[in-house]
Amino acid sequence: MKEVYSYSEIGTLIDQGMKTLFTRPARVRVSVKKPSDKSDTIRVSINLLIGDYSIRVFECEYKNILDLLASFDIEDKEEIWEVSE
């Protein structure tokens, strides 16, 4: 069984350079856009959030929408999409 500690219990160990870990649930917000009608390539912006704080935004391209769906394990009939202006 793993042992867990509060920051007040191990803060001095962190200050001394000890490697420590913690896990928090994250939210990922993905925006998708095709650069042109003539291209199958799509541009994707992946925003990693913890609570209301944006931790990092990753910009990347996928060859097509099917590759994007596969990388996030999304079924094509899942009702998760929003349309933004």
- Does pLDDT of 19 surpass 90? yes
At 30, is the pLDDT very low, low, confident or very high (cuts 50, 70, 90)?
Answer: very high
| Residues 66 and 74 sit within 8 Å (Cβ to Cβ) | no
Helix (H, G, I), strand (E, B) or coil at 69: helix
- Does pLDDT of 38 surpass 90? no
- Does pLDDT of 85 surpass 90? no
Q: Which of 62, 58, 55 is CA-nearest to residue 30?
A: 58
The Cα 27–Cα 24 span in angstroms is 10
The Cα 1–Cα 44 span in angstroms is 40
At 5, is the pLDDT very low, low, confident or very high (cuts 50, 70, 90)?
Answer: very high
- pLDDT average, residue stretch 61-76: 93
- pLDDT average, residue stretch 75-82: 91
